[in-house]
Chain A
Amino acid sequence: MNRYSAFGLLRGALNGQKHWQPAWRDPEPKAHYDIIIIGGGGHGLATAYYLAKVHGLRNIAVLEKGWIGGGNTGRNTTIVRSNYRLKPLHDFFEFGLKLWHHLSDELNYNVMFSPRGAMFLGHSDADMVKLAERGDAMRCDGIDADLMTRDEVAKLEPLLDMSRSARFPIEGGLIQRRGGTARHDAVAWGYARGADSFGVDIIQKCEVTGFVRNGNAVVGVETTRGRIGAGRVGICVAGHSGHVAGLAGLKLPIESQTLQAMVTEGVKPMINSVIMSQSLHCYISQSDKGGIVFGGDPDNWPSYAQRGHPMVMEGAIAQGLALVPSLSRLRMVRTWSGVTDMSFDGSPIIGETPVRNLYLNGGWCYGGFKATPASGWTYAHTLATGSPHPLNAPFSLERFMTGATIDETGTGPMPSSR
């Protein structure tokens, strides 16, 4: 594997880019692996990486039905933060955020993590109390969060509409300065390259179509490239969790919905942080290429269509323009959507399933990109040892039946109202 560095680039410039090797191999599947991970998104690839790096395992495969990173990893708005109100959530995501801060070095692949600040706007005194509560919960657990006055918000984002007569006037904000955005593809590719260097087989165009069972235990998978045996199998397919778990006869507390995002034509820097809102459902940031990246609520009905509803998109844009009026004349150049795995308490599921040797990582809703390193780390631990890491122990599948749900918004079990 090439080590990436400024020197390597210089060498490439002089030798006509002749010395670069593939970032990962394109191997044929073997007959048997100790651990098979279904799904070559960021989470699956990170899991493989940490299985090899932290747990010393080598006989691992990641099976991807299309091309790695082509699921939600390659479709998301890349907001990375750990500013959750509930302890199990902020502890988990904070562990991840710490990994993010050194991920480029760790992987020798620039994932362009840019902690430019993730800011929630408050639009009323009540919003500001809720934001303070969230910030206080974080601060007491050692996570950075700062309340901002109106003036501080206006200074950070001069293009926000700060008028008092706005429908949702801006009263202040809560910022997590260590939050920000990253380059989504690079996360998948960086983990893939890292995993591959440890000997992990990354097998693309290999869809899992069934499970090989021995009683209540899974002993392998059927794929479009043949049967492959496995000691343990980890599902890691985000929006397709319901479908893949269904192949093993499992039903999940997950409903798949479409989440859209969009980007404008590139312009010179105008948005400095990640803007989110306590009352509105849109989020805005600017990519390194200059496009304004926009997201909103999911289309709140079940769908695997990977196509959004135009009016949901129009609604998100209306909200964004109410916040930043001068976005009005920019042009949207592309919309896209992903199939998100909406869990029934809004929190992820990482852990065992009722089927022996079969594990589940899913239920990320619209917020799993930021979890990629933590998810990989804890899922690797779970798959390697057969039992959860303390950080993912609360996120068991079982919690829905016992009632120990982790419901950040207090919305309850209907994803459509989340």
Chain B
Amino acid sequence: MTGPSRPSSATDINFTFDGKRYSARRGDTLAAALLANGIGLVGRSFKYHRPRGIMTAGVEEPSALVTVGEGGRTEPNTRATDVFVYDGLVANSQNRWPSLSLDFGAIFGLAAPLFSAGFYYKTFFGSAKRWMFYEHFIRKAAGLGNAPTESDPDRFSQRAAFCDVLVVGAGPSGLAAAVDAAEAGQRVILVEQDEILGASLIRDPQELYSVWVQNCAERIRAAGGRILTRTTASGYWEHDLVTLTQRLAEPGQVPHNGVAQRLWHVRAGQVLLATGSIERPVAFPNNDRPGVMLSQAVRTYVRRYGVCPGQRVVIATNNDDAYLTAHALQEAGAQIVAILEARPAPAGQGQNLPVFNNAHPLSTKGARHCLKNVSGSVDGVTKSWDADLLAVSGGFTPVVHLHCQAGGTLEWNDAAQAFVPAQSRQNVKTIGGAAAPAPVFNATPVAPAKKSFVDFQNDVTLADVDLAWAEGYRSVEHLKRYTTLGMATDQGKTSNMGALARLAEKQGVAIPEAGLTTFRPPYTPVTMGLFAGAGAKDAGAHKRRLALYDVHAAKNPIWQPLGYWFRPRAYPMAGETLADAAMREARSVRTSAGLTDVSTLAKFEVSGPDAVALLETICATTVGKLAVGRGRYTFMLREDGFVFDDGTVWRIDENRYLLTSSTGGADRMATHLSYVRNYLHPSWHVSVVNVQEHYAGIAIAGPKAKSAVAKLIGEEPPRHMSTISAKIAGVSVLVLAASYSGERAFEIYVDARNAEPVWTHCETAVIAEGGCLYGLEAMEFLRIEKGHLVVGGEIDGRTTPQDLALDKMLNKAGGFIGASGLGRSALSEPGRRQLVGLEAIEGSIPEGSMLVTADGKSPEGHVTASAFRIMEGGSIALAHLADGFDRHGEELIATSPTRGQRARVRVIAPHFYDSAGERYRD
């Protein structure tokens, strides 16, 4: 093919394709620019590596896929018809080796008869490993472009919008509808995937469209409407929510302000789909050769871009529209050598044109990847013409994707041989060409099946459709999946109709009875980064910041993630490892005092006359008998009777309680409380306030804790499980005496906004007693030694109060959530896993390891947490063990095959330290 001459202009820009430099005009798509430069061979097909050119002028392009951009901006599989050239654009062909014109992969094409539909299902037997051997090569041959290996340097933004009318498509009907709605006072958004407005009008003689289109745009804007170009309505979701994808930069282009694309969530009062239709190719042998193009696309290149893709042209059509293309080509100086008209009778537009009625194309020939010759059948007689362009039109497929995504149904329009929108479930209406496509003659393929491509990208031919049928893959979905029809990046925009017509013919039914596959979002492929938006940086997971974050950060601790929080795990001194630091901190708690931040604990203030009723519904323990100023340990059950959280409950005042529970379960507990209060017992007089982040919490623990706290508050500290209000550094605090570590300990709660001075005072006091700060790791050592439970560890959602030896604390009166679940038989059957302690006889006990009676036996339990005795040394652990309560004294193996670790252990009671609880009582 020779390049048509286009006068160069002052605004010419440069791009490269496969390393060679070319010039383009601003406003060109890459496809237009390639054609203008005489480049007809653009890519290779997926399966047979057949040479492919440019077939369309729009987003439906199945063939001309290239990789655009460099580095982290590389976009593989970009349709050359859907990227506007910018200065410096870098494009490369894909799926070829060593080069586009000489591609060794084309041997797949020679072996095409072997690679029929279903090929892979019928061979490569043997073990899975053997398949993997073949698969390695198959995978390498498959895929199209290469993905970037770098991170994306650009950002993607997201935006929400509302409107009364969303118009999709800025062709004549979309523009007119948008003008009407906007001037009627409606809030209008008009979106157009193209860079300019006008859609089908752009194929008309230029003078005609530009004035009217400009005028419409001005009127819409004047009436307050918004017009978004380069914006695709790609998904239609529930209740008229439409997602728009807006390109702010072209593929591979450096965006102006760092934002490459924007995702809109638009909630519309009404949606008008003026999405037009997509021209269908015609199925006949070798219809995929570069130089075979859709008729409207040819017209678009001629009129819009001033590029005439051929000089000697054959046109094949079953409808009137292609004659407009003939005229456009003639105006551009091309010669129409033949029009193969499927309809038997002469059509009016054919005057002065070489029209052959009752004719259809039969094959093409080429040389050096260019079209040279077209043969066709005229009244059953084969004729042939030398030509460098074949423009085909097999009719028009309305773009009903969004209508269908919205749950709408379709009906068959026989005159147009097309499915058109029927009922819609949402507030959506289809207007213009998408609702009423032009009449055509017949959509059913008539040419021989071999090498008659219906899906150009995935190399599916009519022969494949026939084979699938013969092998019993007869539902349209089976056909699609067996042949991969319509599953390529174009999602069958050009292919489905031809195959469907063939299927209907095979079934001996009308096309509508053959069925249709589902239209799924997105309408055109959407960049993943756009969906992720800002979330790509942090996986969409927010972080919560401790009120005392700055205080900790200044000490440079090791941080530990805990749900959304990050908490100090240990405060190592120079040269200390995590384990060293944690052990030093834990010893400090055992021997003098330690200070730690417990702010993340879930905290709820429950008040009102029905506070006890609420608490006794939530907690499985009694609450009612608690005196003012006293607190106690409690735990909560799920409705099915399993323990799901634990904490403490404090009676602050006559009718005011503070409930604490685990950090990790905080949100869940908040919902649970809200459910009981608002849904189950709306009439109760009780209020529940989530004060988790209102209060910062500071714990002081150790034998010297009492004297430290006494100095801090200037009065006698509360007794164990008692609470008082006090002041530290002039700030009001609530002091609870509760011990998690096993030592005398206090939790000091303070308004988070005033926490810093209180912490500073506490720190000074603890250090004055010879103590230090401690983090989560030391806390873990302390609680394990003491045999306290942790949610997510010992409380794993599968344990009952009995399993954890908590059953003696159950509220005998019942009435709490989970009480009825507890009554089920399996919750008290033998063989349940019960909480035990372990001490190592040999080795140290790996956390999470399995408990077996001998190597090779199936596990009877597992280690939930392990630590070392803080003062004496020696490996200890908490564990779940089948019938564990009755197995104290037994020797087992704690084994971790994945880590190559094991220990011999003895089962003991799960309290390793001060089991009488003397240390925390005065």
A interface list, Cβ under 8 A from B: 4-6, 8-10, 12-14, 16-17, 20-26, 66-67, 69-70, 74, 87, 100-102, 104-105, 108-110, 112-116, 123-126, 129-130, 132-133, 135-137, 139-141, 145-147, 158-159, 161, 167-168, 174, 180, 183, 185-186, 189-190, 204, 264-270, 280, 286, 288-290, 307, 309-310, 313-315, 317-323, 325-336, 399, 401-405, 407, 409-413, 417
B898 and A334 contacting across the interface, CB-CB below 8 Å: no
User: Of B69, B75, B143, which one neighbours A290 at CB under 8 angstroms?
Assistant: B143
User: Of B528, B560, B644, B862, which one neighbours A321 at CB under 8 angstroms?
Assistant: B528
User: Of B131, B520, B640, B858, which one neighbours A334 at CB under 8 angstroms?
Assistant: B520
State the CA gap A402–B832 with chains docked (Å): 14
B827 and A403 contacting across the interface, CB-CB below 8 Å: yes
Known: A101-B128, A310-B237. A5 touches B536 (CB 8 A): no
B531 and A4 contacting across the interface, CB-CB below 8 Å: no
Whether B184 is near chain A, meaning CB under 8 Å from some CB there, is: no
Residue of B nearest to A315 (CB): B540
Known: A288-B135, A412-B640. A264 touches B848 (CB 8 A): no
Contacts of A9 in B (CB 8 A): 114, 116, 119, 122-123
Residue of A nearest to B450 (CB): A16
State the CA gap A130–B531 with chains docked (Å): 31
17 additional A-B residue pairs with CB within 8 Å, beyond A167-B537, A174-B898, A307-B237: A4-B121, A20-B471, A22-B470, A87-B858, A102-B127, A112-B131, A137-B850, A140-B895, A167-B541, A168-B539, A267-B145, A288-B120, A290-B142, A290-B144, A322-B538, A331-B77, A403-B821
Whether B629 is near chain A, meaning CB under 8 Å from some CB there, is: no
A124 and B561 contacting across the interface, CB-CB below 8 Å: yes
State the CA gap A322–B537 with chains docked (Å): 6
Known: A189-B121, A335-B520. A268 touches B127 (CB 8 A): no
* B564 to A: closest C-beta gap in Å: 11
* A127 to B: closest C-beta gap in Å: 9
User: Of B74, B477, B644, which one neighbours A70 at CB under 8 angstroms?
Assistant: B477
B147 and A326 contacting across the interface, CB-CB below 8 Å: yes
Contacts of A328 in B (CB 8 A): 72, 148, 151-152, 527-529, 532, 536
State the CA gap A190–B113 with chains docked (Å): 23
Whether B764 is near chain A, meaning CB under 8 Å from some CB there, is: no
Most A-side CB within 10 Å, residue of B73, B471, B539: B539
Task: List 10 interface pairs A-B (beta carbons < 8 Å), by A numbering.
Answer: A25-B472, A132-B896, A136-B859, A140-B858, A140-B895, A146-B898, A268-B146, A332-B531, A334-B520, A410-B798
Contacts of A270 in B (CB 8 A): 146-147
Contacts of A161 in B (CB 8 A): 151
Residue of B nearest to A277 (CB): B539
B152 and A116 contacting across the interface, CB-CB below 8 Å: no
* A246 to B: closest C-beta gap in Å: 23
B527 and A329 contacting across the interface, CB-CB below 8 Å: yes
Whether B545 is near chain A, meaning CB under 8 Å from some CB there, is: no
State the CA gap A130–B119 with chains docked (Å): 43
CB neighbors of A among B474-522 (8 A): 474-475, 477-478, 481-482, 484, 487-489, 491, 518, 520-522
Whether B259 is near chain A, meaning CB under 8 Å from some CB there, is: no
B127 and A267 contacting across the interface, CB-CB below 8 Å: no
Residue of B nearest to A74 (CB): B481
Known: A135-B898, A325-B151. A265 touches B122 (CB 8 A): no
Whether B592 is near chain A, meaning CB under 8 Å from some CB there, is: no
Whether B76 is near chain A, meaning CB under 8 Å from some CB there, is: yes
B897 and A139 contacting across the interface, CB-CB below 8 Å: yes
Residue of B nearest to A123 (CB): B561
CB neighbors of A among B22-79 (8 A): 46, 69, 72-77
Contacts of B625 in A (CB 8 A): none
B526 and A5 contacting across the interface, CB-CB below 8 Å: no
A318 and B525 contacting across the interface, CB-CB below 8 Å: no
Whether B730 is near chain A, meaning CB under 8 Å from some CB there, is: no
Residue of B nearest to A7 (CB): B123
* B467 to A: closest C-beta gap in Å: 5
- Chain B window 610-644, contacts with chain A (Cβ cutoff 8 Å), 1 for yes, 0 for no: 00000000000000000000000000001111101
A104 and B536 contacting across the interface, CB-CB below 8 Å: no
B interface list, Cβ under 8 A from A: 46, 69, 72-77, 111, 113-114, 116, 119-129, 131-132, 135, 138-140, 142-152, 235, 237-238, 241, 243, 265, 407, 463, 467, 470-475, 477-478, 481-482, 484, 487-489, 491, 518, 520-522, 525-529, 531-533, 535-541, 543, 560-561, 638-642, 644, 668, 796-798, 821, 824-827, 829, 846-850, 852, 857-859, 862, 895-899
User: Of B46, B111, B471, B537, which one neighbours A21 at CB under 8 angstroms?
Assistant: B471
Contacts of B858 in A (CB 8 A): 87, 140-141
A310 and B241 contacting across the interface, CB-CB below 8 Å: yes
A331 and B140 contacting across the interface, CB-CB below 8 Å: no
State the CA gap A402–B823 with chains docked (Å): 9
State the CA gap A133–B899 with chains docked (Å): 10
State the CA gap A269–B849 with chains docked (Å): 37
B527 and A331 contacting across the interface, CB-CB below 8 Å: yes
B125 and A108 contacting across the interface, CB-CB below 8 Å: yes
User: Of B491, B518, B543, B862, which one neighbours A333 at CB under 8 angstroms?
Assistant: B491
* A244 to B: closest C-beta gap in Å: 21
Most A-side CB within 10 Å, residue of B131, B520, B528: B528
Residue of B nearest to A159 (CB): B149
Residue of B nearest to A185 (CB): B481
A264 and B528 contacting across the interface, CB-CB below 8 Å: yes
Residue of A nearest to B898 (CB): A135
A330 and B796 contacting across the interface, CB-CB below 8 Å: no
B638 and A412 contacting across the interface, CB-CB below 8 Å: yes
Residue of B nearest to A10 (CB): B114
Contacts of B463 in A (CB 8 A): 17
A4 and B123 contacting across the interface, CB-CB below 8 Å: yes
Contacts of A317 in B (CB 8 A): 528, 531-532, 535-536
Contacts of A115 in B (CB 8 A): 128-129, 132
Residue of B nearest to A67 (CB): B475
Known: A24-B472, A140-B858. A319 touches B539 (CB 8 A): yes
* A152 to B: closest C-beta gap in Å: 13
User: Of B489, B846, B862, B899, which one neighbours A137 at CB under 8 angstroms?
Assistant: B862
A265 and B533 contacting across the interface, CB-CB below 8 Å: no
* A83 to B: closest C-beta gap in Å: 11
A326 and B150 contacting across the interface, CB-CB below 8 Å: yes
B148 and A329 contacting across the interface, CB-CB below 8 Å: yes
* B480 to A: closest C-beta gap in Å: 10
A334 and B491 contacting across the interface, CB-CB below 8 Å: yes
A266 and B77 contacting across the interface, CB-CB below 8 Å: yes
Contacts of A190 in B (CB 8 A): 121
* A31 to B: closest C-beta gap in Å: 24
A269 and B143 contacting across the interface, CB-CB below 8 Å: yes
Residue of B nearest to A322 (CB): B539
User: Of A110, A265, A327, A334, which one neighbours B123 at CB under 8 angstroms?
Assistant: A110
* A224 to B: closest C-beta gap in Å: 15
A403 and B640 contacting across the interface, CB-CB below 8 Å: yes
Contacts of B857 in A (CB 8 A): 140
The 9 residue pairs across chains A and B that have the minimum distance between CB atoms: A410-B797, A290-B143, A318-B535, A22-B472, A133-B848, A331-B525, A403-B824, A328-B529, A322-B539
Residue of A nearest to B540 (CB): A318
B128 and A114 contacting across the interface, CB-CB below 8 Å: yes
B528 and A136 contacting across the interface, CB-CB below 8 Å: no
Known: A13-B113, A132-B846, A168-B541. A403 touches B826 (CB 8 A): yes
A417 and B128 contacting across the interface, CB-CB below 8 Å: no
Residue of B nearest to A336 (CB): B520
Contacts of A145 in B (CB 8 A): 898
* A171 to B: closest C-beta gap in Å: 11
State the CA gap A314–B847 with chains docked (Å): 36
A330 and B528 contacting across the interface, CB-CB below 8 Å: yes
User: Of B238, B560, B796, which one neighbours A307 at CB under 8 angstroms?
Assistant: B238
* A90 to B: closest C-beta gap in Å: 11
B124 and A110 contacting across the interface, CB-CB below 8 Å: yes
A267 and B147 contacting across the interface, CB-CB below 8 Å: yes
Contacts of B139 in A (CB 8 A): 269, 286, 288, 290
Residue of B nearest to A184 (CB): B481
